[in-house]
Amino acid sequence: MFEFSRSFLTVESSFVAKLISSLPPDIRLEVPAGDDAAVVRPPAMRRTVITVDMLMEGTDFLPFPATDPKAVGYKALAVNLSDLAAMGARPEVAVVAVALPIKHGRTIGDEMLEGMLPLAKQFNIAIAGGDTNSWDNLLVVSVTAIGSVEPGKAWRRDGAVPGDVILVTGAFGGSILGRHLCFLPRCNEALAMTARWEIHAAIDSSDGLSLDLFRMMSASNTGARLECDRIPIHEDARIYAQQGSGQTPLEHAFGDGEDFELILALDPQVASDLINEFKHLFPETPLSVIGTVTATPGIVCVLPNGDMRQLEPRGYQHLFTSNGSLKTSCD
Amino acid sequence: MFEFSRSFLTVESSFVAKLISSLPPDIRLEVPAGDDAAVVRPPAMRRTVITVDMLMEGTDFLPFPATDPKAVGYKALAVNLSDLAAMGARPEVAVVAVALPIKHGRTIGDEMLEGMLPLAKQFNIAIAGGDTNSWDNLLVVSVTAIGSVEPGKAWRRDGAVPGDVILVTGAFGGSILGRHLCFLPRCNEALAMTARWEIHAAIDSSDGLSLDLFRMMSASNTGARLECDRIPIHEDARIYAQQGSGQTPLEHAFGDGEDFELILALDPQVASDLINEFKHLFPETPLSVIGTVTATPGIVCVLPNGDMRQLEPRGYQHLFTSNGSLKTSCD
Position B324 pLDDT exceeds 80: no
Average pLDDT value over all residues in chain B: 91
Give the model's confidence band at B14: pLDDT under 50 very low, under 70 low, under 90 confident, else very high. confident
Lowest-confidence region among A78-92, A259-273, B17-31: B17-31
Is the CB of A5 less than 8 angstroms away from the CB of B38? no
Chain A neighbors of B149, CB-CB under 8 A: 39
Position A5 pLDDT exceeds 90: no
Give the model's confidence band at A325: pLDDT under 50 very low, under 70 low, under 90 confident, else very high. low
How far the first Cα of chain B sits from its last, in Å, is 48
Position A274 pLDDT exceeds 60: yes
Is the CB of A36 less than 8 angstroms away from the CB of B51? yes
The residues near A173 (Cβ < 8 Å, ≥ 6 apart) are A233, A234, A236, A237, A240, A249, A250, A252, A253, A254, A255, A256, A259
Domains and CATH numbers, chain B: 13-149 (3.30.1330.10), 165-311 (3.90.650.10)
Position A9 pLDDT exceeds 70: no
CA distance B149 to chain A (A): 8
pLDDT one-digit tens code per residue, A213-232: 999 999 999 999 999 999 99
Contact status, residue A196 vs residue A90, Cβ threshold 8 Å: no
Is the CB of B142 less than 8 angstroms away from the CB of A83? no
Chain B neighbors of A151, CB-CB under 8 A: 30, 41
Mutation target among B1, B36, B87, B207 for the A interface, most CBs of A within 10 A: B36
pLDDT one-digit tens code per residue, A158-202: 999 999 999 999 999 999 999 999 999 999 999 999 999 999 999
Q: Residue type for B30, please?
A: E
Is the CB of B99 less than 8 angstroms away from the CB of A149? no
Is the CB of A59 less than 8 angstroms away from the CB of B4? yes
Position A233 pLDDT exceeds 60: yes
pLDDT at B328: 77
Give the model's confidence band at B318: pLDDT under 50 very low, under 70 low, under 90 confident, else very high. very low
pLDDT at A268: 98
pLDDT at B13: 56
What's the rounded Cα separation, in Å, for the pair B191 and B179? 23
Give the model's confidence band at A326: pLDDT under 50 very low, under 70 low, under 90 confident, else very high. low
Position A133 pLDDT exceeds 80: yes
Position A323 pLDDT exceeds 80: no
pLDDT at A329: 80
Angle of helix A187-196 versus helix A268-281 axis, rounded to 10: 130
Average pLDDT value over all residues in chain A: 91
Is the CB of A56 less than 8 angstroms away from the CB of B140? yes
Lowest-confidence region among B50-54, B117-121, B313-317: B313-317
What's the rounded Cα separation, in Å, for the pair A132 and B165? 32
Give the model's confidence band at B248: pLDDT under 50 very low, under 70 low, under 90 confident, else very high. very high
For B133, the closest of A36, A56, A151 (CB atoms) is: A56
What's the rounded Cα separation, in Å, for the pair A278 and A276? 6
CA distance A274 to chain B (A): 23
Give the model's confidence band at B325: pLDDT under 50 very low, under 70 low, under 90 confident, else very high. low
pLDDT one-digit tens code per residue, B286-314: 999 999 999 999 999 999 899 999 988 76
Position B197 pLDDT exceeds 50: yes
Q: Looking at chain B, which residue has its C-alpha nearest residue A134?
A: B59
Question: How many Å separate Cα B143 from the centre of its chain?
Answer: 12
- The 3-state DSSP class for residue A122 equals helix
pLDDT at A1: 28
Chain A neighbors of B201, CB-CB under 8 A: none
pLDDT at A321: 38
Is the CB of A86 less than 8 angstroms away from the CB of B10? no
Is the CB of B6 less than 8 angstroms away from the CB of A149? no
Please state the rounded mean pLDDT for residues B135-149: 97
pLDDT at A293: 98
Q: Looking at chain B, which residue has its C-alpha nearest residue A92?
A: B48
Please report the number of interchain residue pairs, chain A to chain B, with beta-carbon separation below 8 angstroms. 263
Chain B neighbors of A140, CB-CB under 8 A: 54, 56, 99, 140, 142
Position B4 pLDDT exceeds 50: no
Position A327 pLDDT exceeds 90: no
pLDDT one-digit tens code per residue, B151-169: 999 999 999 999 999 999 9
pLDDT at B12: 39
Is the CB of A40 less than 8 angstroms away from the CB of B48? yes
Angle of helix B187-196 versus helix B69-86 axis, rounded to 10: 10
pLDDT one-digit tens code per residue, B222-234: 999 999 999 999 9
pLDDT one-digit tens code per residue, B261-274: 999 999 999 999 99
pLDDT at A16: 87
Question: How many Å separate Cα A312 from the centre of its chain?
Answer: 22
Position A2 pLDDT exceeds 70: no
Is the CB of A38 less than 8 angstroms away from the CB of B58? no
Question: What number of helices (H) and strands (E) belong to chain B?
Answer: 9, 15
| DSSP assignments along B88-136, one per residue | TPEEEEEEEEEEEESTTHHHHHHHHHHHHHHHHHHTT-EEEEEEEEEES
Give the model's confidence band at A314: pLDDT under 50 very low, under 70 low, under 90 confident, else very high. low
B2 burial via Cβ count (<10 Å: 0-12, 13-18, 19+) = middle
Position A108 pLDDT exceeds 90: yes
Chain B neighbors of A8, CB-CB under 8 A: 207, 315-317
Position B8 pLDDT exceeds 80: no
Please state the rounded mean pLDDT for residues B86-99: 97
Q: Looking at chain B, which residue has its C-alpha nearest residue A260?
A: B36
Give the model's confidence band at B81: pLDDT under 50 very low, under 70 low, under 90 confident, else very high. very high
Chain A neighbors of B154, CB-CB under 8 A: 30-31, 35, 39
Helix ranges, chain A (H): 15-21, 69-86, 105-122, 179-182, 187-196, 209-219, 235-242, 249-255, 268-281
Chain B neighbors of A141, CB-CB under 8 A: none
Please state the rounded mean pLDDT for residues B313-322: 46
What's the rounded Cα separation, in Å, for the pair B162 and B165? 9
Q: Residue type for B279, please?
A: K
Higher pLDDT, A264 or B33: A264
For A87, the closest of B3, B36, B87 (CB atoms) is: B36
Chain B neighbors of A137, CB-CB under 8 A: 56, 58, 137-138
pLDDT at B314: 66
Chain A neighbors of B95, CB-CB under 8 A: 50-52, 144
Q: What is the ipTM of this complex?
A: 0.91
Mutation target among B12, B48, B139, B141 for the A interface, most CBs of A within 10 A: B48
Q: Residue type for A126, please?
A: A
pLDDT at A21: 86
Mutation target among B92, B142, B258 for the A interface, most CBs of A within 10 A: B142
